[in-house]
Structure 1
Amino acid sequence: MRQRFDPLVEPEDERHWRSQLIHEGLLFPRVYEEYERYSEIARRPGALRDLQGERLSASLRHAIEAVPAYRRAGITADDRGDPWRLLSTFPLVSKLELAEGMVDHCDDDIDPTTCRVLETSGTSGVPLRMVRHDDALVHEWATALVRNQRQGKAFDRTVLMPCLARMDRWFEYTSPGAGFARVAQFGLAGREASDRAGSAERAGSAERAAFAERAAFAERARSLRPDVLAGTPRNLLDFMELLRSHGGPLLSVRSVVTCGELLVPAVREALTEFFGLPMIDMYAMKEAGTIAVQCEAGSYHIESERLWLEVVDDDGVPLSEGHTGEIVITDLTNRAMPLIRYRTGDFGSLASAACGCGLPHKVMDLVEGRNPGELRRPDGTVLPVLWVARAARRHPVRRYQIVQEADFSVAVLVAPAPSFTAADAAELTRNLEDVLGAGVRCRVRTVADGDFHSAGRRKDVDFVSFLPGTSTAPG
């Protein structure tokens, strides 16, 4: 298995990636077996619905028998054999409930050797560790291989994931879970030198060095000749500006995939115009993996082999097709920590008609997804709010929220866990000062659950801004 890590990669990063890639390699025979099975199912009308029913019934019965949270709830299996009716007797569960009751939502006989623990990005302000069984990963990767084949993407494609905010380096690896695709990732964290024409000549030595590094990243990206670009809309916008300032677009790329944030129309148009390709947007979250992916017709098709989606109103009552509400997910393959009727905090609707592209998967419309936003400094520079969120997640908090006031100051509101101390608050404040810089006043405040700001229908958001002209102010 080929890996080529940049010398600047920290040892712990390298250990993490080596462990992940070895794990993917060991699972790949099973991935390929399921890939062949899913390819065959796609050719049989009605097979997808039958598969959903079988998996939903097995998942719910397993939860009743082996998961403390559902065993205590007194849910009983329906002898009439209707898994969807049985599903309706399960309670909705929020991210906060899942985070605080993680152990009770895990299988009694969980085997750590067959699971991976993932930490969510925190875009709702609630840190969550999710346990996913190998089976869930196998099925997710297998359905992705089928989807990529349908889109004409070879297993050994080259994928570039540019401008990751957490990184300031480049590294490459081969991903068995993605069909042994060659993947390259790089970031520009801390490299904020202007790319305007002539700026390198006028800048000081530090800015000239940063300018040269950015140019080197652009050239390295071109020399990779990627088949696919993938990343958040924000990261791809940063990459677009990098290329625009250093020689123009990549001519070899055949597909541009966005994920991780809400893709708004203006950003879609800008990326489409620059790269000369339509965007393929994915709706995904670490708790369940990929949830829905756009087809060529633009419809978001649900990964129905692995997931069941509902849409509910503010009171948790299921809505019929065509009505907008909160998206609720049930994972059909994760036995280690069953995700049943999980409230995502995102809003959308289920289509009543099939897509004209011919795929049997049900279609959803994502009305309002996660849009992490960015913090602004008084000098006009910006930085991803996830940098501050990452600092908050290092401390024992039940929930947090980042607030930028109209005077550019930043407050982090935290609902502390029992082990949160004054030392945690002081350390978090220092971390914020390091991230935000001397020009931004910051503070940490402990609050009760009811004291967080809400934004429209979304009650759990990690970032609100009161700066004029921002779209993240509370509704």
Structure 2
Amino acid sequence: MLRQRFDPLVAPEDERHWRSQLIHEGLLFPRVYEEYERYSEFVGRPEALRSLQGERLGTVLRHAIGAVPAYRRMGITVDDGMDSWRLLSAFPFVSKLELAEGMVDHCDDDIDPATCRVLETSGTSGVPLRMVRHDDALVHEWATALVRNQRQGKAFDRTVLMPCLARMDRWFEYTSPGAGFARIAQFGLAGRGASDRAAFAERARGFRPDVLAGTPRNLVDFMELLCSHGGPLPWVQSIVTCGELLVPGVREALTEFFGLPVIDMYAMKEAGTIAVQCEAGSYHIESERLWLEVVDDDGVPLPEGHTGEIVITDLTNRAMPLIRYRTGDFGSLASAACGCGLPHKVMDLVEGRNPGELRRPDGSVLPVLWAARAARRHPVRRYQVVQEADFSVTVLVAPAPSFTAADSAELTRNLEDILGAGIRCRVRTIADGEFHHAGRRKDVDFVSFLTNASPRP
């Protein structure tokens, strides 16, 4: 009966997509393994990594000038002896909106659909984007992931559970060649009742996963499912979060429940994995594939240690070159190497995207990020900044166990200091299901009822 109810009943179009994707991964795996062996030799060799970056950056920039309409018509010239980073400074920044509206112009003239995959972003920034990634970009992303897994002691044939996906209402298992032939299971609880949830928890226990991976919200949901159905899974060796900002309260809760440290990844569909935490907690940039800059509001590059907007250049994607892409996320680059010994540059801070602006009655605005920073300093599992129709601001929080009335009072005072006179502030603790949503797959950190742009629950 259990098999009959939970076998992967995937819709025909989804099944065709997955079958195509996994066959594509399998065909590329010999190249993935070759790059994996090459990248394994970079440990402790920062000069080799820097040389590879310069070579790849120069190649992708020259390719864009000659083969991509959006850059060819800019008339960017390459002087003899010009190094890659000086050439990069001649390129303009590009926003998600510009890429979305000018997708064709940002693609290679001679793009070959047989050697590319099209990915679509979730649209949580308000601008869904279709991104064309060349096979080379996928090969290098998967290869660097295999090196990272090896460094963390994860076998190629590991089992990975991705639980509580909001878009799914079934159990789905597959083997991913791109992930080193890992056995992966995904499941969702959409529309499921109490008895179904118990059966999903039982099936997850029978899967005996080595790794739990997912958004912080999904892993918290899974933790709460296990609390009611048998407790932690003793076989799990690693907890990996990605896709949303990991707040301290969620990290604390997951670590305490599973008895394992949480490894957080900073990634986006446009460029794949960008930076991953090491055992020392530093976010190491995947420098074999990416070049990162940090800029201020005017696009002026900032020195190491200064917080600004993260700008990405993809060193391996020729089909739709991603050059000086303004991510909308905020962070800084560390000035010193990490003590773990990895040669990859470190992101000292990953702030996440600024979700919007708070408005004062006088017409002035403030970044929502300022209020979000204040909320993240406290033990909360989730937060949401809400601007009401009367300009007042409410911060909704799902508290971690250690959250107290003192935290609520301090957060209220901090918000008042940040927002200034004229805006009433309050903090309200709620359950996870009481947050406002906007019909998207990811959690929404900011809702404004000033413009009615965001719907009520």
Could you tell me the TM-score, scaled by structure 2's length?
0.79
* 1:388 paired to 2:389: no
| Alignment correspondent of 2:197 | 214
Deviation at 1:388, TM superposition (A): 1.1
| Alignment correspondent of 1:303 | 286
Deviation at 1:8, TM superposition (A): 2.7
Per-residue displacement from partner, 1:310-339 (whole Å, max 9, x unpaired)?
000010000000000000000000000000
| Alignment correspondent of 1:326 | 309
SS at match of 2:184: strand
Deviation at 1:6, TM superposition (A): 2.4
| Alignment correspondent of 1:397 | none
Q: Quickly say closer, same or farther: Cα 1:57–1:381, change in 2 above 3 A.
A: closer
Per-residue displacement from partner, 1:260-316 (whole Å, max 9, x unpaired)?
000011110001000100000000000000000000000000000000000000100
SS at match of 1:369: strand
* 1:61 paired to 2:28: no
Deviation at 1:389, TM superposition (A): 3.2
Q: Quickly say closer, same or farther: Cα 1:220–1:371, change in 2 above 3 A.
A: farther
| Alignment correspondent of 2:267 | 284
| Alignment correspondent of 1:463 | none
| Alignment correspondent of 1:162 | 163
The alignment of Structure 1 onto Structure 2 pairs a total of residues equal to 382
| Alignment correspondent of 2:113 | 112
Q: Quickly say closer, same or farther: Cα 1:401–1:147, change in 2 above 3 A.
A: closer
| Alignment correspondent of 2:343 | 360
Q: For the residues of structure 2 that align with 1:381 and 1:15, how far apart are their CA atoms?
A: 35
Q: Quickly say closer, same or farther: Cα 1:140–1:80, change in 2 above 3 A.
A: same
Q: For the residues of structure 1 that align with 2:211 and 2:186, how far apart are their CA atoms?
A: 12
Q: For the residues of structure 2 that align with 1:15 and 1:412, how far apart are their CA atoms?
A: 36
Deviation at 1:384, TM superposition (A): 8.2
Deviation at 1:40, TM superposition (A): 2.0
* 1:123 paired to 2:106: no
Match for 1:285: what amino acid?
Answer: M
Q: For the residues of structure 1 that align with 2:200 and 2:438, how far apart are their CA atoms?
A: 22
Instruction: Tell me if the contact between 1:165 and 1:384 (Cα under 8 Å) persists in the aligned partners.
Output: no
| Alignment correspondent of 1:313 | 296
| Alignment correspondent of 1:178 | 179
SS at match of 1:346: strand
Q: Quickly say closer, same or farther: Cα 1:359–1:278, change in 2 above 3 A.
A: same
5 Å matches for 1:254-293? 254-293=237-276
Instruction: Tell me if the contact between 2:201 and 2:225 (Cα under 8 Å) persists in the aligned partners.
Output: yes
Percent of matched pairs sharing the same residue: 83
Deviation at 1:385, TM superposition (A): 7.1
Q: Quickly say closer, same or farther: Cα 1:240–1:57, change in 2 above 3 A.
A: same
Deviation at 1:402, TM superposition (A): 8.7
| Alignment correspondent of 1:343 | 326
* 1:237 paired to 2:237: no
Could you tell me the TM-score, scaled by structure 1's length?
0.76
| Alignment correspondent of 2:403 | none
Match for 2:100: what amino acid?
Answer: A
Instruction: Tell me if the contact between 2:46 and 2:344 (Cα under 8 Å) persists in the aligned partners.
Output: no
Q: Quickly say closer, same or farther: Cα 1:147–1:125, change in 2 above 3 A.
A: same
Q: For the residues of structure 2 that align with 1:358 and 1:95, how far apart are their CA atoms?
A: 35
| Range moving further from structure 2, 35-44 or 233-242 | 35-44
SS at match of 1:86: helix
Match for 1:78: what amino acid?
Answer: D
Deviation at 1:46, TM superposition (A): 1.1
Deviation at 1:380, TM superposition (A): 6.6
* 1:145 paired to 2:146: yes
| Alignment correspondent of 2:412 | none
Instruction: Tell me if the contact between 2:330 and 2:353 (Cα under 8 Å) persists in the aligned partners.
Output: no
Instruction: Tell me if the contact between 2:209 and 2:235 (Cα under 8 Å) persists in the aligned partners.
Output: yes
Q: Quickly say closer, same or farther: Cα 1:271–1:380, change in 2 above 3 A.
A: closer
SS at match of 2:72: helix
Per-residue displacement from partner, 1:423-471 (whole Å, max 9, x unpaired)?
xxxxxxxxx9xxx8xxx5xxxxxxxxxxxxxxxxxxxxxxxxxxxxxxx
Q: For the residues of structure 1 that align with 2:136 and 2:437, how far apart are their CA atoms?
A: 30
Match for 1:124: what amino acid?
Answer: S
Instruction: Tell me if the contact between 1:311 and 1:348 (Cα under 8 Å) persists in the aligned partners.
Output: yes
| Alignment correspondent of 1:21 | 22
Q: Quickly say closer, same or farther: Cα 1:411–1:23, change in 2 above 3 A.
A: farther
What's the Cα RMSD here?
Answer: 2.5
Deviation at 1:76, TM superposition (A): 1.1
Q: Quickly say closer, same or farther: Cα 1:265–1:157, change in 2 above 3 A.
A: same
Instruction: Tell me if the contact between 1:130 and 1:337 (Cα under 8 Å) persists in the aligned partners.
Output: yes
Match for 1:90: what amino acid?
Answer: F
* 1:294 paired to 2:277: yes
Instruction: Tell me if the contact between 1:243 and 1:249 (Cα under 8 Å) persists in the aligned partners.
Output: yes
Match for 1:360: what amino acid?
Answer: P
Per-residue displacement from partner, 1:71-128 (whole Å, max 9, x unpaired)?
1111111322310011011001000011001011000100011000000011211010
Per-residue displacement from partner, 1:112-171 (whole Å, max 9, x unpaired)?
110000000112110100000000000000000001001000000000000001001101
Instruction: Tell me if the contact between 1:42 and 1:48 (Cα under 8 Å) persists in the aligned partners.
Output: no
Q: For the residues of structure 1 that align with 2:436 and 2:110, how far apart are their CA atoms?
A: 38
| Alignment correspondent of 1:450 | none
Instruction: Tell me if the contact between 2:8 and 2:173 (Cα under 8 Å) persists in the aligned partners.
Output: no
Q: For the residues of structure 2 that align with 1:84 and 1:233, how far apart are their CA atoms?
A: 36
Segments of structure 2 that go 5 or more residues without pairing to the other structure are 356-382, 387-395, 397-429
Instruction: Tell me if the contact between 1:403 and 1:411 (Cα under 8 Å) persists in the aligned partners.
Output: no
Segments of structure 1 that go 5 or more residues without pairing to the other structure are 192-209, 392-399, 414-431, 441-475
Deviation at 1:14, TM superposition (A): 1.2
Deviation at 1:43, TM superposition (A): 5.2
Instruction: Tell me if the contact between 2:436 and 2:447 (Cα under 8 Å) persists in the aligned partners.
Output: no
* 1:95 paired to 2:96: yes
Instruction: Tell me if the contact between 2:122 and 2:128 (Cα under 8 Å) persists in the aligned partners.
Output: yes
